[in-house]
Structure 1
Amino acid sequence: MFIPLNDRNDLDHIDRQYVTLTLIAINVIVWVLTALSGADGELTTAAVLGLGFIPAVAFGPAELAPGLTLVPETATYITYSFLHANFMHLAGNMVFLWVFGDNIEDALGHFRFLIFYLACAAAGALAHGLFNAGSEAPLIGASGAVAGIVAAYLILHPRVRIWVLVMWRIPLPLPAFVPLLIWVGYQFVMVFADSDGAVSWAAHVGGIVAGAILVVLLKRRDVPLFDRQIVSPRAVVRHKSPVPKVERRWGR
């Protein structure tokens, strides 16, 4: 649908988005480590099965072989979100996290943002499991957590103008609520329109619902909801040079 490129939404409460940067770094490192063994490598297979969220295992009907169990079943509600199928899967999630994550971290604070992120990831896994209770396919990817961030940004900064790449080729500066509302609505539609597809739309919806609720509960007291301030992306701000005054003399 679209790719976020940039927003001009300055940080008011924190100096730097340390948690956002750390989450991006962890996701990249995990992907590099698993990618080095190849798509069918032992490390990749062990990570996906041992750290991915498998509804049939989490809800009881199935069990992993002892050698494949890397963490307790409850931990996979979070660990799955640090695994990605390929570079494009990783890049898509990390771009959204990079553009929108810093402002949510600013609104919540470092520690509460970390709790927010992990809770949205867990909510995404839970929603996926409820829609696919008997599935033995591992769920991986940060989409649930990122969907929560998108929902939080929409609630906090709907009128901030962001640069988005529409249809992979058309850059446009738009108020945040335009692309984000379309994106959120699309996830809800696709839960029923593409229930058997490779994308877990249910995980996205779970993250969206959790993000919309948690941002209200965890935000700083002085951070307003539905901020009405309109801020344009830096790329479209123009500064006019002052016109020097010319002193006119009589007779000229």
Structure 2
Amino acid sequence: MFPVKDDNPTSTVPWVTYGIIILNLLVFGYEMSLSLDEKALINFFDTYGLIPEKIVNGQSLFSLFTSMFIHGGFMHIFGNMLYLYIFGNNIEDIMGHRRFILFYLLCGMAASGLQISINPHSTVPNIGASGAIAGVLGAYLLTFPGAKVHTLIFFGYFVRWVKLPALFVLGFWFIIQLFSGIGSLGYMTADTGGIAFFAHIGGFVAGALLVLIFNKKKRRFLDGRFLGM
């Protein structure tokens, strides 16, 4: 299941969402310039990526923020930025630009916090905007459950384009993260890499809770119409 766009118009230009996407792309471009020197790239990840063991020991606390803007490859950044582009504009619209910045960063920190608590002795750098963007998805599901999301569904070699409610698309995404996270518990070690499922879970739950505070317009999307709350 691969979301492409949503039918959920906004009343403002999502400058912060665009800015976050541009910043991530600029950082990724810098990473690509380092890729010619593998040692320099590894050092960049070790310095600015979030290493749970360091955070637990009170070191490199700045990486709680910097790690949100680093990605490990083209598909990693493409998927994250696509989700942010599709769903971020509506959340920024209901919160306002400044609130959305704070919301985004808090979701990212909450995501990192849960991941650290699950594997506090990990020495593997955690990188990516997935946790913060998961917060955007959690906020979107709670605020716009009936919004239609254009989605590609793959059946082997066949692909179908369908419109599904956000409740189904994002709810399904969260369930996948939840079960994948639980399934990964028995395999985690200090040097195990892979997908930080608990960062996704933590960010999603944080976003669903924080939107109740940050939602300036107090509106909910249902059956294609905005309803006052």
Per the normalisation by structure 2, the TM-score is 0.89
1:170 paired with 2:160, answer yes
Alignment partner of 1:155 is 2:145:
no
1:29 equivalenced with 2:37 (yes/no) = no
Of residues 187, 192, 196, the one that matches 2:177 is: 187
Q: Which structure is larger by alpha-carbon Rg, 1 or 2?
A: 1
CA contact (8 A) 1:105 1:113 kept: yes
Superposed, 1:169-248 pairs within 5 Å as: 169-195=159-185, 196=187, 198-220=194-216, 222-225=217-220, 227-230=221-224
Cα distance in 2 between the residues matched to 1:167 and 1:116: 33
Superposition deviation, residue 118 in structure 1: 0.6
Please give the secondary structure, in 1, of the residue aligned with 2:61: helix
Match in the other structure for 2:61: 74
Quick one: which amino acid aligns to residue 228 of structure 1?
Answer: L
Query: Gaps spanning 5+ residues in structure 1: where?
Result: 64-71, 232-252
2:118 is the counterpart of 1:128: no
Q: Report if aligned partners of 2:87, 2:136 keep a CA contact under 8 Å in 1.
A: yes
Once the two structures are superposed, what CA deviation does each residue of 1:178-212 show, in whole Å capped at 9, x if it has no partner? Answer: 11111111111111112336101010011011101
Question: Per residue, is there more helix in 1 or in 2?
Answer: 2
Deviation at 1:133, TM superposition (A): 0.5
Deviation of residue 59 (structure 1)?
A: 0.4
SS at match of 1:94: helix
AA of the residue aligned to 2:92 = E
| 1:9 maps to amino acid | N
Count of residue pairs brought into register by the alignment = 216
Q: Distance in 2 between matches of 1:39 and 1:96?
A: 29
- Relative to structure 1, the CA distance from residue 39 to residue 99 in structure 2 (aligned partners, 3 Å threshold; closer, same or farther) is farther
Q: 2-side partners of 1:26 and 1:38: how far apart?
A: 19
TM-score normalised by length of structure 1: 0.81
Deviation (angstroms), 1:39: 7.1
Gaps of 5+ in 2: 188-192
* Cα separation, 2, equivalents of 1:216 and 1:75: 27
